[in-house]
Amino acid sequence: MPPVKTAVIGVGHLGSLHARIYSQLPKAELVGVYDIDSDRAAECAARNRVRAFSTLEEVARSVKAVSLAVPTDSHYELGKFILKQGLHLLVEKPITEREEQAEELVEIAKSKGLVLAVGHVERFNPALVAAAEHISNPLFVESERLAPFNPRGTEVPVVLDLMIHDIDIVLSLIRQPVLTIQAMGVPVFTTSVDIANARLSFEGGAVANVAASRVSIKKSRKMRFFSTDSYVSVDMLKHSAVAYRKRPGAEIPLDRGTSPVLIPDMLSLVERKKLAPDKKREPLAVELADFLLCVTSGKRPVVSGFDGLQALQVADRILKAIDQSLASSGLKT
């Protein structure tokens, strides 16, 4: 099967990575790139030895699949244009700014039989991939995603910029409807929320606490998954993961009388397994390879348009809960 003719629309920091990887993947033929900044497009095109498109219509006539890596506030209009031209689409996260926009993109893709994937690249993080097989029916999840301030992405609140990665991961592993949400967040350096914390309660009893900040001193991207007999810790920044599981029959004798209780060493009660993520695999390259496979085979993407929509729906509920909390605190009128 010949390689898929591809293009990248938007070649800033992230889009330029898409272009580089497409130019290296054997199942892709990077035909060209487009950016509203023609100089940036020309520079990226020259670096990858491809064409710099002058219009979106040129893109549509020349390729079969597109990566869309523009600011979030342009995802809907450009995404709709791409899909209506009959092109398969991978749009960077979040899928759109608003739920109804995402619903429309999902419906267009479905009606035209097109692949719509969403760039929640953390699903391809080697530490999470290695940990996933050890995570079974998580009942409590903690996540923190902290980063120093970066103007890129600040066209949307931190919930849509950073937290949405972990929302997507939590939804993919718990797989139950979210019943209630409690949340708080505050603006610091922008006019929208820059730091936020949310507590999600799911049907079936699971709970997830998710925190995100883009005003932190240091980076941190960690998740912890707890079930009745196991605990899995994932560091997505360091690409490392550890799984702990209760040893069969392990118990702590509890004497409610007056005699002292001898507490066993915890390591005698649990099995510790340091997992071995495949750190040689670049998450974005795996994501783009999955997109191309879906284009050629009709397979469902690891992160589909519907998955992106679900994450956006929960993120929107978190933002509404934050607004209510700020109003109740007298911090917003």
pLDDT at position 75 is 98
* CB contact at 8 A, 295 and 64: yes
C-alpha span between 211 and 193 (Å, rounded): 12
pLDDT at position 74 is 96
Q: H-helix or E-strand containing 109?
A: helix 99-112
Ordered per-residue pLDDT tens for the chain, 333 residues: 899 999 999 999 999 999 999 999 999 999 999 999 999 999 999 999 999 999 999 999 999 999 999 999 999 999 999 999 999 999 999 999 999 999 999 999 999 999 999 999 999 999 999 999 999 899 999 999 999 998 887 788 999 999 999 999 999 999 999 999 999 999 999 888 999 999 999 999 999 999 999 999 999 999 999 998 889 999 999 999 999 987 776 666 666 555 555 666 666 677 889 998 988 889 999 999 999 999 999 999 999 999 999 999 999 999 999 999 888 877 764
Q: Where are the domains of the chain?
A: 4-121+283-303, 123-279+314-327
pLDDT at position 333 is 47
List, in order, residues 6 or more apart from 251 with CB less than 8 Å away.
none
- The dihedral over CA atoms of 86, 90, 94, 98, expressed in degrees to the nearest 10, equals 10
pLDDT at position 150 is 87
Residues found in the chain: 333
CB half-sphere exposure, 173, CA atoms < 13 A? 30
Give the angle subtended at the CA of 80 by the CAs of 75 and 84, to the nearest 5°: 150
Considering the domain 4-121+283-303 in this protein, what is its CATH number?
Answer: 3.40.50.720
The CATH number for 123-279+314-327, chosen from 3.30.470.20, 3.30.300.210, 2.60.120.920, 3.30.360.10, is 3.30.360.10
Q: Considering only CA atoms, which of 22, 322, 308, 15 is closest in space to residue 152?
A: 15
DSSP designation for 304: B
C-alpha span between 61 and 51 (Å, rounded): 13
pLDDT at position 331 is 72
Q: Is 184 helix (H, G, I), strand (E, B) or coil?
A: strand
Q: Considering only CA atoms, which of 200, 109, 196, 123 is closest in space to residue 160?
A: 196
List, in order, residues 6 or more apart from 214 with CB less than 8 Å away.
147, 148, 149, 150, 153, 154, 158, 161, 162, 194, 195
pLDDT at position 263 is 63
Structure tokens at 235: 């560091």
